[in-house]
Structure 1
Amino acid sequence: MGRSYWLLLTGFLASSLGTWIYRLALPLLVYDLTGSPLGTGLVYVMEYVPYLLLGMVGGVLADRYDRRRLLVLGDTASAVVTLVLAAMVALGVGRLWPIYLVALLLASVDPLYQPAFRALVPSLVPAERLPQANARVHIGEHAVSMAGPMAGGALVVAFGYQVAVYVDAGSFLLSALMIALIGGRLTVKGGARKGATADAGERRKRWSMAADLREGLRFLLRGDRAVLTTAIMSSACNFGVWLLLADLVYYLSSYHGFTPGQIGVVYAFQGAGAVAGALLGGWLIRVWPPGRIMTWSLVAGGASMLLMTVARGPVPIGLAWTGQFSAAGTMIVATATVRQRLIPDHLLGRVLGTARMIAFASIPLAALASGLFEAAARDAYAIMMFAGLSWAVIAVAVARSPLRRLTVEDVRGGTAAGSAPPSESPPRDRR
């Protein structure tokens, strides 16, 4: 894969470790302060609202500026915000609004960070190795998600929230260092803005964010319908699974009396499932059409969520989550590869950012709905039933969508859509 790819992956995994630590520590801190399912769920609302506001902006920046530098700036900003959180914990802040503000600021970095990272990966690996590169990203990301919650829970139990947050900040700084070591100016592969060309300067002079946003939206809405379908599918899937995820810390603490360490074990199981799913997805995408992979992954993920209704204890609950995240991991590898292969590289950041915004738009709604329903009805099992059945319905829709027309050859080897010159027209509509 090359030195640059491995530096990028190492930095991304260090950053992901920091993300997982605060995603466990912040809900636990709010639960300790309030004991409220709605209060805990609002942490996730704060974490995903920025995707609605900044998702498209992040895509434009990824297509306009050095993607490596954007990642370094994003990690540095995250480290600074987490150090502010450590100071708040040291001062014994007992109010919720500063914690929600920190969650919002940390989350505001991610929609600016992710499009640059996702768009940079195809620039660092040969086209025929892209499925394996995506699989390794997902494997590594969720191997960290397996270790991160356990480490976060152990840090909170052994040393308190302040030390956990300091470790969090250190992981972001390590990521910034790794990505800064990638050599060269990495922007658009094969496009007019690769390197410091005269054309790059001209285009930046007449830079218009509105025009760039329109260009990305035009491709998403009028280009290959398979790309738009993946965004809508992801949004629907996220709504279902986040009904459970937003309530998970409260459910495990209140219904079962789990300690932070036991909650970390449950999260570690979901990380193990995601690793297994990424391995499976990296193999399947080379031999199965992506639409079929996504359809059967949805069926398996829905069945696993239904199993949550009867699972008891950290290990059985963890095993149910293993199945769900294994299915999701398989689907994510297929989805990422479809997008990277069908979107021209000069549009990749914008279209990925917009698609991610659509996919994540449902998460704050799901978190709020879950918190309100749990506070009013105290029936987590009804939420699990709804979430599992919703994935089965989505599977039927995907089986009949434009994704069913994609073949194995569309997403492996050959000339990727991402290597097309900027003047090339979008791929034909596959309706």
Structure 2
Amino acid sequence: MSSLGELIAPRRLGKDFRWLLSSSWTSNIGDGIALSAAPLLIASLTPSPLLVAAGAMMQYLPWLLFGLFAGAIADHHDRRMLVMIADGSRAVVVLALVVFLVTGHATVWIVLATTFLYGVAEVFADTAGSTLLPMLVKPVDLGVGNARMQAGFLVGNQLAGPPIGAFLFAVGSFWPFLTQILCVSLGVILISRIARTEVPPRDPLPEGVKPHPIREGLRWLRAHPPVRTLVIVILVFNVTWAAPWSILVLYATEHLGMGPVGFGTLTTASALGGIVATFSFGWLERHVRFATLMRVCLSLEVLMHLSFALTTSGAVALVIMFGFGAYAFIWGTISTTVRQRLVPLHLQGRIASVNMVGVFGGLVIGQLLGGVIAETWGLTAPWWFAFGGALITLIAVWRSISNIAAAKPVIDEDPAV
């Protein structure tokens, strides 16, 4: 393997990991294309801000409705096959949208329905997909594996995909979605090359306890403080993060005076920071304790909110956003790695789904709060809310972070590598 290939997908992680990584990166490019094309399509079909906002909400609603159920399904079936079926369903849904666009029969309601159905399939695909990595690599390699998966998200979903989607939409409304179908379909082919993933054996239940997949996962989570605390932290920090992010476009254009292009560069700066962090994660994992990294990341989150509340400079905001992208990538990789190491294989789907429900639930709550706070007290008020909430949370969990990072991994059979 070439030195570049070894850097991207180390040989020790195995051939199946390379198939998983290739599938994830390809699918993320398709999703990134839709990330910009879908709002443009909705805006071209309706002038209603409410319907435009509904398009974004359709991405979150399926997680709140089906997230826990998807986790239970993933823990009781062949996870590789579930990803293939769910991604295949996504391709079919988008294909139907393309037909409506080509024939000129697309309406905003058809687009919203398509977005919802696509989101439902994505819930099952992402939940099952998140359980594959712990089955394919050794626990010691989960950090590197997650870093490579996150890098694909940053490059494909955040950097490359959106501008490609906007360009293709300018050529013709159906072109970005046709390209998305090709990317998702290729992802299905790539993941099909992974060896069949067996359903992990379940732990025996106590006598007299009736099996219930979702309750079983919640019971396990309630009895394991490190993972439970980690999920709560992610929920709360997503509430505080989403509050100012919900009005970021207004903050950037009106408060900072950056204009539409400047607003776009803020998100680009965040993605660039994350990409830079991918190259440093391996070194950090070897030389810095996870507990220290987690505390630094959460502390930087608090300082970021304070800095945004105080600054009036677009240039300073770009620097802050670059730093945010870097530490947010490191935090996301560490939190995922720690959770995957601590959760038994047969519960990976359910615990991952609880985590994702917390993520998207926090986003919905935070967005609602951010709009109300900004409407009442001004565009910097959500940043002050985020600063105070994040600071209180950090103080509350500061000591618990050591217990989370030091918790012993579960002992499962070694994954095939």
Spell out the pairing of 1:125-204 with structure 2 (5 A cutoff).
125-144=137-156, 145-157=158-170, 159-183=171-195, 185-188=196-199, 191=201
2:33 pairs with 1:21: yes
Q: Which amino acid aligns with 1:296?
A: V
Question: 2:10 matched to which residue of 1?
Answer: none
1:220–1:351: 8 Å Cα contact kept in structure 2?
yes
Question: 2:238 matched to which residue of 1?
Answer: 238
Question: 1:48 matched to which residue of 2?
Answer: 60
1:345–1:221 CA distance, 2 compared to 1 (3 A)? same
User: Take 1:277 and 1:389, find their aligned partners in 2: how far apart are those partners?
Assistant: 27
1:277–1:326: 8 Å Cα contact kept in structure 2?
yes
Shift of 1:3: 1.2
Matched residues, number: 394
1:109-144 residue CA offsets vs partner (Å, 9 max, x unmatched) = 222122211211011112221211111111222122
1:279-300 residue CA offsets vs partner (Å, 9 max, x unmatched) = 4444434444434322221221
2:95–2:178: 8 Å Cα contact kept in structure 1?
yes
1:295–1:396: 8 Å Cα contact kept in structure 2?
no
Question: 2:4 matched to which residue of 1?
Answer: none
1:296-322 residue CA offsets vs partner (Å, 9 max, x unmatched) = 212213333444454666x76554322
Spell out the pairing of 1:252-267 with structure 2 (5 A cutoff).
257-258=259-260, 265-267=265-267
1:93–1:288 CA distance, 2 compared to 1 (3 A)? farther
1:24–1:152: 8 Å Cα contact kept in structure 2?
yes
Question: 1:107 matched to which residue of 2?
Answer: 119
User: Take 1:390 and 1:26, find their aligned partners in 2: how far apart are those partners?
Assistant: 33
2:367 pairs with 1:367: yes
1:3–1:160 CA distance, 2 compared to 1 (3 A)? same
1:41–1:246: 8 Å Cα contact kept in structure 2?
no
Q: Which amino acid aligns with 1:151?
A: I
1:75-122 residue CA offsets vs partner (Å, 9 max, x unmatched) = 111112222333444455685433322222122122212221121101
Q: Could you tell which deviates more after superposition, 302-311 or 14-23?
A: 302-311
Pick aligned residue for 1:72 from 44, 68, 84 = 84
**Structure 1 residue ranges without an equivalent (≥5):** 194-198, 422-431
2:403 pairs with 1:405: yes
1:341–1:417: 8 Å Cα contact kept in structure 2?
yes
User: Take 1:30 and 1:274, find their aligned partners in 2: how far apart are those partners?
Assistant: 29
Question: 1:425 matched to which residue of 2?
Answer: none
Shift of 1:419: 1.1
Question: 2:341 matched to which residue of 1?
Answer: 341
Question: 1:5 matched to which residue of 2?
Answer: 17
User: Take 2:391 and 2:278, find their aligned partners in 1: how far apart are those partners?
Assistant: 21
Question: 1:424 matched to which residue of 2?
Answer: none
Question: 1:213 matched to which residue of 2?
Answer: 214
Shift of 1:58: 1.4
User: Take 1:420 and 1:293, find their aligned partners in 2: how far apart are those partners?
Assistant: 29
1:189-217 residue CA offsets vs partner (Å, 9 max, x unmatched) = 5x369xxxxx9xxx9xxxx9x61212111
User: Take 2:397 and 2:412, find their aligned partners in 1: how far apart are those partners?
Assistant: 28
2:412 pairs with 1:419: yes
Spell out the pairing of 1:283-302 with structure 2 (5 A cutoff).
283-302=283-302
Shift of 1:234: 0.8
1:241-260 residue CA offsets vs partner (Å, 9 max, x unmatched) = 2234444457667875426x
1:45–1:363: 8 Å Cα contact kept in structure 2?
no
Shift of 1:165: 1.7
2:25–2:153: 8 Å Cα contact kept in structure 1?
yes
User: Take 2:395 and 2:277, find their aligned partners in 1: how far apart are those partners?
Assistant: 21
1:165–1:354 CA distance, 2 compared to 1 (3 A)? same
1:302–1:324: 8 Å Cα contact kept in structure 2?
no
Question: 1:353 matched to which residue of 2?
Answer: 353
1:266–1:77 CA distance, 2 compared to 1 (3 A)? farther
2:95–2:181: 8 Å Cα contact kept in structure 1?
yes
TM-score by length of 2: 0.82
Shift of 1:335: 0.7
Shift of 1:277: 3.6
User: Take 2:75 and 2:281, find their aligned partners in 1: how far apart are those partners?
Assistant: 28
**Structure 2 residue ranges without an equivalent (≥5):** 1-12
2:118 pairs with 1:119: no
TM-score by length of 1: 0.80
User: Take 1:238 and 1:267, find their aligned partners in 2: how far apart are those partners?
Assistant: 17
User: Take 2:411 and 2:212, find their aligned partners in 1: how far apart are those partners?
Assistant: 20
1:5-36 residue CA offsets vs partner (Å, 9 max, x unmatched) = 01111101111222222222223344455566
User: Take 2:373 and 2:48, find their aligned partners in 1: how far apart are those partners?
Assistant: 12
1:297–1:331: 8 Å Cα contact kept in structure 2?
yes
Q: Could you tell which deviates more after superposition, 387-396 or 329-338?
A: 387-396
Q: Which amino acid aligns with 2:212?
A: A
SS of match in other structure, 2:131? helix
User: Take 1:173 and 1:250, find their aligned partners in 2: how far apart are those partners?
Assistant: 37
1:56-78 residue CA offsets vs partner (Å, 9 max, x unmatched) = 11111211111111111121111
2:55–2:115: 8 Å Cα contact kept in structure 1?
yes
Shift of 1:154: 3.0
SS of match in other structure, 1:258? helix
Q: Could you tell which deviates more after superposition, 64-73 or 18-27?
A: 18-27
Question: 1:196 matched to which residue of 2?
Answer: none
User: Take 2:281 and 2:53, find their aligned partners in 1: how far apart are those partners?
Assistant: 31
1:85–1:369 CA distance, 2 compared to 1 (3 A)? farther
1:20–1:291 CA distance, 2 compared to 1 (3 A)? same
User: Take 2:379 and 2:165, find their aligned partners in 1: how far apart are those partners?
Assistant: 25
